[in-house]
Amino acid sequence: MHIRRNHRHTSPTPLPGRALTSARTPRTGGALLAVAALLVSACSAGASTTSATSAADVALGALPRSTPAALAPYYGQKARWRDCGVPGFQCATLRAPLDYDRPAGGDVRLAVTRKKATGPGERLGSLFVNPGGPGGSAVGYAQAYAGIGYPAEVRARYDVVAVDPRGVARSEPVTCLDGPDMDTYTQTDTTPDDARETAELVDAYKKFAEECGARSARLLRHVSTVETARDMDIVRAALGDVKLNYVGASYGTFLGATYAGLFPGRSGRLVLDGAMDPSLPARRLNLDQTAGFETAFQSFAKDCVQQPDCPLGTKGTPSARVGRNLKAFFRKLDAHPIPTGDADGRTLGEGLATTGVIAAMYDESSWAQLREALGSAMKDNDGAGLLVLADSYYERDADGGYSNLMSANAAVNCLDLPPAYDSPEEVEKAVPTFEKASPAFGKGLAWASLGCAYWPVAPTGEPHRIEARGAGPIVVVGTTRDPATPYRWARALAGQLTSSRLLTYEGDGHTAYGRGSACVDSAINAYLLRGTPPAPGKRCS
């Protein structure tokens, strides 16, 4: 399974400071079972051990400036806008080639939405937005948040535009498991204690992969980040924009950086918030993210013990002890799941409980909800609160249905990078390293790194640097205690992009724009509206 790297604003709640009580969301992909494979991929078992150093000589190359004749029909499209049923928004459907190497071999349909600039002031063009994932619906994000919650001065000057990436939501979604099978999958024990439990986990990964292959065979080889970036350029052309302006969060930063690498001359004002490092292999990415969740948990722990309702300790309890208390709670659930009152009979075991805690790490405004949920589970034997958090992460609705977030997340991640590990034996050896990075989450996240080993199609990407030589200034934003995209990734991406400016937010939570920092927001707004990037070394708190 894969950790989602999604911007929390993908939640239906339209404004910053959301709690996770609604059905979802950069973030990103399927919590513990979904928890940890990443980015762009190639193929062999040996490739899975690629180091960051070996990627130093591999850089994403720009595509030719001229449009190939075979792609002219796609670039010549014009969007035919229609009412979406969402106030203020229009929708359209555009086409892209399923396979860019064989454009005549069939199409994929792309769902597009926009909210036109409200004025006053000169229109600056389209502002594409993406919330992350991979698998997050950009259309849903724009309609629920960006198109109404971005700063008024930005919405006045830009048409807010979103495209669901191929395989996601409204753009021919990848499908894998149905609701009942997803319920079973998300309850699988991700911290196996013996050979039987290991075999059950491997079987869960295999079934997920086999069902994806059976239900989405046409798309599964063609949902890479590179292909999605090329799709965005077709949409840019269809909208009549000379350059693409873009705000991407979390995984959306990798998508935006990939666009800049492929089309540096067509890259306008790009904001990459909660950045990823494309030069790292899946194994390193997963380990870094494990450490990121531990950093976030330590912040939560310090805050928790200051509160009267903290179930993990009292004032003065060291953070390490808080972590041990949480791990002891997980072990108890591993042996004896507790009731949740769920209509479908689901109980709260270690896997769902861990997912619920991880979900709350994305946004410090969810910490109070997490304390309450942990208190109910630990003191009253009631797992309902943690189940709500886990369901929000997996995007499960009240009727037992799931969005295709988890399916798309796995499909993109497993295509973008060689698998982190190729066998249970490799994971066993890695568990101590992961547990050192995070005593509470490490074992589960190590085993979550195994999912792509059984994927039905070979990866097509590899770790690489993105330089985007020739692009204008690109703003990279990093949050110092970001759980899902550690700050070091932002520094790394900023170091690769030749025209980057790194904006640092000293704080908690995943991503920074629109999360309450006037310093961050004013710096990004100035860049989007006037093209003025932040000063070198700019830091906000």
Q: In sequence order, what are the beta bridge partners of 474? A: 270, 500
526 CB-contact burial (10 Å; exposed 0-12 / middle 13-18 / buried 19+): middle
Non-local (6+) Cβ contacts of 388 within 8 A are 20, 21, 356, 373
CATH topology of domain 86-173+221-279+465-540: Rossmann fold (3.40.50)
In the numeric block, which tokens belong to residue 345?
A: 């009979």
What stretch of H or E contains 126?
strand 125-130
pLDDT tens across the length of the chain (541 residues): 456 566 543 332 222 222 222 222 333 323 333 332 222 222 222 333 334 445 557 899 999 999 999 999 999 999 999 999 999 999 999 999 999 999 999 999 999 999 999 999 999 999 999 999 999 999 999 999 999 999 999 999 999 999 999 999 999 999 999 999 999 999 999 999 999 999 999 999 999 999 999 999 999 999 999 999 999 999 999 999 999 999 999 999 999 999 999 999 999 999 999 999 999 999 999 999 999 999 999 999 999 999 999 999 999 999 999 999 999 999 999 999 999 999 999 999 999 999 999 999 999 999 999 999 999 999 999 999 999 999 999 999 999 999 999 999 999 999 999 999 999 999 999 999 999 999 999 999 999 999 999 999 999 999 999 999 999 999 999 999 999 999 999 999 999 999 999 999 999 999 999 999 999 999 999 999 999 999 999 999 9
Q: What is the rounded distance in angstroms from the CA atom of residue 391 to the CA atom of residue 220?
A: 25
Residue 44 is a catalytic residue: no
The reply to whether 399 belongs to the active site is no
Q: In sequence order, what are the residues at sequence separation of 6 or more whose Cβ sits closer than 8 angstroms to the Cβ of residue 525?
A: 151, 153, 154
Label residue 376 exposed, middle or buried (CB < 10 Å: 0-12, 13-18, 19+). Answer: middle
Q: Which of 288, 482, 508, 521 is catalytic?
A: 482
Q: Report residue 457 as tokens.
A: 């199609």
Closest CA to 512 of 134, 248, 161: 248
**Among 437, 438, 508, which Cα is nearest to 478's?**
508
d(CA 134, CA 410) in angstroms, rounded, equals 8
Strand pairing report for 82-83 and 158-163: unpaired
Residues 6+ apart with CB under 8 A from 69: none
Q: Return d(Cα 39, Cα 246) in angstroms, integer.
A: 20
Tell me the torsion sign for CA atoms 83, 87, 88, 92.
negative
Where are the chain's structural domains?
A: 86-173+221-279+465-540, 281-394
Q: Model's pTM, two decimal places?
A: 0.91
What's the CA gap between 197 and 439, in Å, rounded?
A: 21
Catalytic position from the list 126, 250, 279, 365 = 250
DSSP states along 169-212: TTBS------HHHHHHHHTS-SS--SHHHHHHHHHHHHHHHHHH
Pairing of strands 267-273, 474-481: parallel
Task: State residue 502 phi and psi, 5-degree precision.
Answer: -90, 125
List, for residues 405-421, the tens digit of each pLDDT value. Answer: 999 999 999 999 999 99
Query: Which residues, 6 or more positions from 177, have their beta carbon under 8 angstroms from its beta carbon?
Result: 185, 207, 208, 211, 402, 407
Q: What is the mean pLDDT of the chain?
A: 91
The one catalytic residue among 189, 510, 517, 521: 510
Computed from CA positions of residues 85, 86, 89, 95, in that sequence, does the dihedral angle turn out positive or negative? negative
Q: In degrees rounded to 5, what are phi and psi of residue 297?
A: -65, -35
350/387 Cα distance (integer angstroms): 11
One-letter-per-residue 3-state SS of 476-507: EEEEEECCCCCHHHHHHHHHHCCCEEEEEEEE
* Beta-strand relationship, 244-249 and 125-130: parallel
H or E element in which residue 539 lies = strand 539-540
Task: Verify cis geometry, omega within 30 degrees of 0, for the bond prior to 308.
Answer: no
Give, for 475, the enclosing helix (H) or strand (E).
Answer: strand 474-481
* In contact, 465 and 59? CB cutoff 8 Å: yes
250 given a catalytic annotation: yes
Task: Tell me the two tokens of residue 355.
Answer: 């997912």
Supply φ then ψ for residue 109, to 5 degrees.
-90, 135
Q: What would the two tokens of residue 431 be?
A: 């568990």
Which of 280, 360, 240, 257 lies closest to 55 in space, CA to CA? Answer: 280
CB of 219 closer than 8 Å to CB of 174: yes
> What pLDDT does residue 47 have?
33
Structure tokens at 344: 């479908």
What is the rounded distance in angstroms from the CA atom of residue 343 to the CA atom of residue 506?
42
Tell me whether the omega of the peptide bond preceding residue 264 falls within 30 degrees of 0, making it cis: no
| DSSP H or E run through 361 | helix 350-361
Contacts of 37 (CB under 8 A, 6+ apart): 2, 282, 286, 410, 413, 414, 417, 419, 420, 449, 451, 452
